[in-house]
Structure 1
Amino acid sequence: MSENLPNKAVFQSYIWTCAKYDFSPYEKRIIYRLIEFAQQWLEGIKIKDHMHKIEPSGCGVNITMPVASILRDEDDHNYAKAKAAFTSLSKKGAEYEDDKIWFYTAIIEHPKIEKGTGIATFHVYDPIWRAALDFTKGFKKYELITAMKFKSVYAMRFYELMSGQAKPLFVPLEGPDGLRERFCLQGKYERVNDFKRYVIDAAKKELDESSPYSFVAKEEKEGKKVIGWTLFPVFFEDREDPALQE
């Protein structure tokens, strides 16, 4: 079963919002929890229970949390989903680039699950931890419970992009800042119609159903070539948690 925790407003570094990676929804939920831990660390909030811990190491931090933290109102027989997510994420990295820097780093290592307690521990590499704490490029604010409940990783990423967005946002299809590279979809959905159907439309469907923030996508062209989309924000005020808007 998923962990029953109160909703929280999470402030995510724009480095993470724009980073290039290909994660499953379960891997993404590990990242959401990691960012939540980083925010508590930054705010100086002391975690008082034995199920949630942040312990600095020489090259990053060690995180302790319940396996249930990454589940979506579901059972995980013999921790199969959690083991697959931690194993896969430990083999992946994240890439970020702007006009001043480029970096690529592994994310976690040495994941372990104590089967009797359902407690997971893993090590987070220092560049990932620092990126979670770095707000110099800006940040996005979103509701943790809303982000955690999406089925599609594309819905998660578009929710991060559109959360709090007041002005139309142009997102290119190709290039270093394009959605294809950002979502690591090179060689997949090569036809524009397929990309829109399986990525943009799929994300919009979930956001329209359960998110405070969604969008209307307007196709942009140079001549006959589609170069991207302008996303016009849509806000569903009745879905926003008023306790988190102070």
Structure 2
Amino acid sequence: MVNKNVIQSYLLTVARYDANIYAKRILLHIVKANQDYLQGEKLSGVINIDEDLFKDREYSFDIKSILGDDEDNNYDRIIKAFHSLQDRFIQFGDGEGGSVRLSFIERVYAKKRSGIVKFRMSELMYKAFADYSQGFRKYEFGLTMSFDSVYSIRFYELMSGQKKPLTYTIDDLKKMFSLGDKYKRPSDFVKRVIEPAQAELNEKSPYTFSFKLNKKGRSFHSITFTPIFQPQYASEEAEKHELAKKVGSSAYLSRTERTYLNEHFQMSPKQIKNNHDTFFDAKKKHGDFLLNFFDKVRINAHRNNATNKIGYLISALKKDLENDLD
């Protein structure tokens, strides 16, 4: 299987949903198919995508592509996985204190003898799959499809390209993985979910992690995951800048940030693209506080009577990034 890089919305990476390994493979194929469709590339695994007048999409799937390297040809379990996704929902915040809850797929039609499953996805849903405004994760499609555990896949998505430690409460992780009341003791959660995922990532992934349980009072409350990069498993195709360039600056700069650059520094989309690496790394460093940095630079540029505002901004960004290397 070609180990092509795929870009996944961070919303989907951290969304709350429950899925077994086959259902998760279906989701991976959908993300990859959407990317191929937008880029005008030949679809792999997905036979066809049709878009109607209401922008809803109908997908035709080859069941064999979901089985992967499995020796059996038990199509029933794949069809059940499609049905399970029809009953599963993705939930994420709308940025205004509310939340949105959507069914992953709709109108599943399975014809086992043909080896094809068809389903529909609403415009709002596939846009959520491609919403890069809150960040994105890249992963290698072939590698991800080879994982045996759905938790390995989800931790791989979380760790892929990550450099700084991530801390989640145990309750938030259980909600993210839709575990409900399972593993009430933190030790059971670690033994059944985290350690098996860590072991599989250690064995085959360029991105794995170490972890530390944190106490609040006398009880374990959260877990800090420290990303570990294993270059021996890295693909030569895994270039972050090439991936981000494919989806443009919207992959890492929010609409508000792009508008700010245009209004206060008169930067066109082309000029932003020409400084892709600088903005990409700056966003990675400052995250949601990048707009504050832009505002400080704007004020300093005005105080210093800078005539070349774009040059002043890029210089300030590069100097800020270089300080991290000292």
Please report the TM-score for the alignment, with normalisation by the length of structure 2.
Answer: 0.68
Partners of 2:215 and 2:95 in 1: CA distance: 25
Matched, 1:54 2:49: yes
Structure 2 match to 1:159: 156
Match 1:218 to one of 212, 221, 226: 212
The aligned runs of 1:225-236 (5 Å cut-off) are 225-236=219-230
Higher-Rg member (1/2):
2
Matched, 1:13 2:27: no
Note if contact 2:143-2:205 (Cα within 8 Å) is conserved in structure 1.
yes
Matched, 1:72 2:68: yes
**Alignment CA distance shift 1:240-1:62 (3 Å):** same
Considering fraction of residues, name the structure with more helix. 2
Matched, 1:150 2:147: yes
Note if contact 2:37-2:43 (Cα within 8 Å) is conserved in structure 1.
no
Match 1:199 to one of 193, 201, 204: 193
Structure 2 match to 1:112: 109
Structure 1 match to 2:23: 27
Structure 2 match to 1:94: 90
Partners of 1:26 and 1:123 in 2: CA distance: 18
Three-state SS of the structure 2 residue aligned to 1:127 is helix
The aligned runs of 1:133-148 (5 Å cut-off) are 133-148=130-145
Structure 1 match to 2:178: 184
Note if contact 2:105-2:119 (Cα within 8 Å) is conserved in structure 1.
yes
Partners of 2:188 and 2:236 in 1: CA distance: 37
For 1:235, the aligned partner's letter is F
Provide Cα deviations, 1:152-182, integer angstroms capped at 9, x if missing partner.
11111000000111111112212xxx10111
**Alignment CA distance shift 1:49-1:237 (3 Å):** closer
- Aligned alpha-carbon RMSD (Å): 2.0
Which fold has the larger relative contact order, with Cα–Cα distance below 8 Å and residues 6 or more apart in sequence? 1
- 1:239 positional shift: 0.8
- Equivalent pairs: percent with the same residue? 35
Partners of 1:230 and 1:48 in 2: CA distance: 38
Moved over 3 A (4+): 46-51, 75-78, 113-117
Note if contact 1:24-1:85 (Cα within 8 Å) is conserved in structure 2.
yes
- 1:201 positional shift: 0.9
Structure 2 match to 1:127: 124
Note if contact 1:89-1:107 (Cα within 8 Å) is conserved in structure 2.
yes
Provide Cα deviations, 1:41-87, integer angstroms capped at 9, x if missing partner.
332x1437896211113362111221122113114435122111112
Note if contact 2:45-2:62 (Cα within 8 Å) is conserved in structure 1.
no
Partners of 2:134 and 2:150 in 1: CA distance: 23
Three-state SS of the structure 2 residue aligned to 1:233 is strand
Partners of 1:19 and 1:49 in 2: CA distance: 25
Tell which deviates more after alignment, 83-92 or 72-81. Answer: 72-81
Tell which deviates more after alignment, 51-60 or 80-89. Answer: 51-60
**Alignment CA distance shift 1:180-1:51 (3 Å):** closer
Matched, 1:168 2:165: yes
Partners of 1:85 and 1:47 in 2: CA distance: 25
**Alignment CA distance shift 1:125-1:75 (3 Å):** farther
**Alignment CA distance shift 1:49-1:19 (3 Å):** closer
Structure 1 match to 2:235: 241
- 1:98 positional shift: 5.8
Note if contact 1:51-1:119 (Cα within 8 Å) is conserved in structure 2.
no
Three-state SS of the structure 2 residue aligned to 1:205 is helix
Please report the TM-score for the alignment, with normalisation by the length of structure 1.
Answer: 0.89
The answer for unaligned runs of 5 or more in structure 2 is 243-326
